[in-house]
Each structure stands twice: as structure tokens, then as C-alpha cells.
Structure 1
Amino acid sequence: MNGLKVDREKDCPFLLKVYTRNDGFHSIRDFSKGDVPTPDELLLYTWHDATLEEVAHLIEQVTPAAQQPDARIAFRLIYLDTETGLYHYRELGRVAKIAKNSQDADKTLEQCQFMIGDYLDVAIFDGPPPANTRYRDERARVPPRFSAGGGNRRPSLGGMRSRGDRFR
């Protein structure tokens, strides 16, 4: 990343649409055809340098489930692939109130390759994680543009990248 410098005193924040759900994520179908899970929508104003921990703190202020002392908050990026017209998701990380040294807590929206117009899908879990559970490996469901190497690559766009290939 280019290390975007944001002056929060001078730069205007943008609107971030967040969709929360207790005990799991929304189905990607909930975001199809321009529909969104409106009853679960939070509208937050923030900057590209906001961390997942900062976003989690904003969610905690208005969502009772996230206020529990052992709450865990997991993030997914929901984005529209302009080449296919379909929504896809990518796991961003997890933030737990009891684990202050989470490796994902300091990720910024910029580092997560968030673009204005994307959504955050947030799963809020209460209580400690189940025993013998690892962070889920979603590679089997990840669209080809996230995979390393292989696949059908399009010719270079002369330094210009379309929105559909931002994760390649």
C-alpha cells in the first residue's frame, strides 16, 4: 500500500455501510441485485486509515451484542466485481475485546483494499471461541482473482486497473 496520509482535522470522512449479525456472517446472497440486509445496517463515518479495532469500537457503541466483555467481532469485505456484476467477499480479520494484541486489530481499511462503495459484513460472537476451532480457511470459496498465480489473466491495462481486478 502507498501509506495514505489522512489529516482527520482537514479531510472529510466517508460513509461506511456496515451490516452486523450475531453468531455469523450474512449470506452473500443477501447482497445480490442491489439488495442489502437493511435491518442490520449501521452507517458510520470514518477515514481510509481507520483500523479494524477503531471500526469495532464504533460498532460496540451502538450494538449491545458487541458490548459484551468477551465479544469477538469478525469482518468481511463485500464488494461488487464489475466484470461479472456479482458480489464477492473477502475475510479481513477478527478483533476481540479480551485479546488486545490481535494481529488484525491494526489493519487499516486501506490495507484491506476497501474502496468507497464497498460494504463491511460484521459477525459478532459472544463468549470464548469453541475449543479446537481454527480461523476458517475460505480459500475454496475465494474467487480466482484472490488466488496466487494461474487462472485467466487479462492483458495489462497500461497501468490502469479496473475495479474488478484490484486483488490480483
Structure 2
Amino acid sequence: MAAVESRVMEVDNAQKKTQKSVDREKTCPLLLRVFCNYNSHHRLTEYGRANMVPANELQIYTWLDASLKELSSLVKEVNPDARRRGTLFDFAVVYPDLRRPGYRMREIGTTCSGKKGTDDAVTLGSTQFQIGDYLDIAITIPGRAPARRY
């Protein structure tokens, strides 16, 4: 059993070595296009309509080493409703589907306002995020009834 644990530790150390930190003083930031929605992610069809994207766009200049916790803090700065303790931020990357027209979505983690979580330190670079991909965030505020989608 000890060999398995040490193997896991070796993998974790190898992952840390492959994640390069960015010198934010010398590296130009990227433009991250973020789309927030309450209680659920946007539908993929909302991204695929002739160069149209969902209307509620937030543009953030950041780096590939930005963590999900850092990104949720930036969203909270411009969205007062999301500042409530216990608010969940469910992150997903939206990227072009190379096999057929349209987009695909891959969930990358969840953070919670006011609580520490396992995905807080996940970075954009560690999720295979590519410059030009979109970030879709489903914001769930505690105690608020889910919005109906028609």
C-alpha cells in the first residue's frame, strides 16, 4: 500500500513541475471571454449561431496561471448578487468542435464563495484551455429559486 501512495505523490510532483508559473510583469495577458448564467450553463446552440455568443459577456484580461478562485473573485466584483456566501461557481470551457460544426463544453471545476474547495487552485493552463476558448460559468446563489428556461 505504501508503494501506491508514493506513486501518487510522484505523479503530483510531476504535475506541479509541468505547470509553469507566468511572470505577470513580463507576460502579456490574454483576453478571456466569460459568459455567466444563473443555475445552469448556457446551451451550446447559443454559441453556434453565426458568430453569435450569449449576450451577457464579461471580458477579463488574465493569464493561463489564473486559478478558478481568482476568476470567481473577478466575477464577484462586477456581479453583486454572486457575492453571497455559499454561492457556487461551476466553470466550463467552451471550445470549437473539430469534428463537426459547432462547439463542445468541458466542465473544469467548481468553487464556492466563502469556502475552500478542492478546485480552487485549478488553473486555466492545467485544464487544456486554449487561447480563444470561452469560459462559461453557471452561478448558483443559495436560497434563490432556479430560473425557468423556456
What is the deviation of 1:93?
0.9
Cα RMSD between the aligned structures? 1.4
Measured against aligned partners, the alpha-carbon deviations of 1:14-58 in whole angstroms (never above 9, x if no partner) come to: 1000000111111111111321002x1000000000000111010
- Aligned residue for 1:90, secondary structure, equals strand
Aligned pairs (5 A) from 1:14-25:
14-25=30-41
TM-score, normalising length: structure 2:
0.79
**CA distance in 1: counterparts of 2:91 and 2:124, whole angstroms:** 11
2:124 paired residue among 66, 90, 109: 109
Are 1:65 and 1:124, in contact at CA under 8 Å, matched by a contact in 2? no
Query: What amino acid is aligned across from residue 35 of structure 1 in structure 2?
Result: M
Helix, strand or coil for the counterpart of 1:32?
A: coil
Map of 1:59 onto structure 2: 75
Which residue pairs with 1:73 in the alignment? 89
> Is 1:45–2:61 an aligned residue pair?
yes
Structure 2 residue matching 1:42: 3-state secondary structure: strand
Q: Which has the higher helix share?
A: 2
Where do residues 17-166 of structure 1 align in structure 2 (5 Å cutoff)? Answer: 17-33=33-49, 34-38=51-55, 40-100=56-116, 102-127=117-142
Q: C-alpha distance in 2, partners of 1:85/1:124?
A: 28
- Local SS of the residue matching 2:99: coil
Matched pairs, number: 126
* AA in 2 matched with 1:57: S
> Once the two structures are aligned, what percentage of the paired residues are identical?
37
- Quick check: 1:22–1:65 contact (8 Å CA) kept in 2? no
Secondary structure in structure 1 of the residue aligned to 2:48:
helix
Q: For 1:76 and 1:46, locate their aligned partners in 2 and report how far apart those are by CA, in whole Å.
A: 17
**Unpaired runs of 5+ in structure 2?**
1-14, 144-150
